[in-house]
């Protein structure tokens, strides 16, 4: 490498010196980002964007040392987030989802249900062609049970609410 090539390389490196650090929040994470919550690091492997009219909710497929988790986030008057673990349980059809669902001696009561079209980036249990129908049940202690159905498959998730200010996000490569 000649003298002028070295000077050009140093000059190019210095051009990026003041580049802004990319800031992410729970609503703007992308595939490849790292989320730290409760002393665990998770890599975002998939993003699912749920749309129903003006309502938008995001779901993130996260892989960490403890396994795969699913994070749902929506903006209401404040950011609401739930961290879920997928259960190894199945229902034959969505008609089996009742107002009250009992799991391990805990009653979960339906609080909201809906349907949404989805847009998927990275890994996801859903496709972008069919509607996703979902039911959110809450227990008295705040734990949550989420049922999601698309084209004959029901995914059951069990989780709890998390506070967005307890999360740290490191942006992945652009």
> Which spans in the chain are helix H?
3-15
Q: To which H or E segment does residue 91 belong?
A: none
What's the whole-model pTM score?
0.84
Q: How confident is the model at residue 2 (pLDDT cuts 50, 70, 90)?
A: low
Give the separation between CA 64 and CA 38, rounded to whole angstroms.
Answer: 12
Q: How confident is the model at residue 8 (pLDDT cuts 50, 70, 90)?
A: low
Assign 16 a pLDDT band (cuts: 50, 70, 90): low
Could you report the per-residue pLDDT of 85-135, keeping only the tens digit for each?
Answer: 999 887 878 888 999 999 999 999 999 999 999 999 999 888 888 899 999
Going from N- to C-terminal start, the domains of the chain cover: 19-170
Average pLDDT in the 73-93 region? 89
The pLDDT assigned to 151 comes to 84
């Amino acid at each position: 490498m000649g003298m002028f090539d070295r000077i050009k390389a140093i000059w190019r490196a210095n051009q990026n010196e003041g580049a802004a650090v990319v800031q992410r929040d729970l609503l703007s994470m992308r595939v490849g980002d790292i989320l730290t919550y409760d002393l665990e690091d998770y890599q975002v492997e998939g993003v699912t964007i749920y749309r129903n009219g003006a309502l938008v909710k995001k779901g993130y497929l996260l892989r960490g040392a403890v396994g795969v988790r699913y994070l749902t986030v929506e903006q209401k008057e404040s950011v609401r987030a739930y961290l879920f673990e997928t259960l190894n349980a199945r229902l034959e059809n969505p008609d089996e989802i009742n107002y009250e669902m009992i799991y391990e001696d805990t009653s979960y009561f339906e609080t909201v249900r809906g349907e949404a079209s989805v847009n998927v980036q990275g890994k996801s249990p859903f496709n972008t062609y069919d509607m996703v129908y979902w039911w959110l049940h809450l227990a008295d202690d705040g734990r949550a049970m989420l049922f999601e159905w698309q084209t004959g498959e029901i995914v059951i998730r069990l989780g709890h609410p998390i506070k967005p200010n307890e999360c740290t996000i490191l942006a992945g490569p652009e």
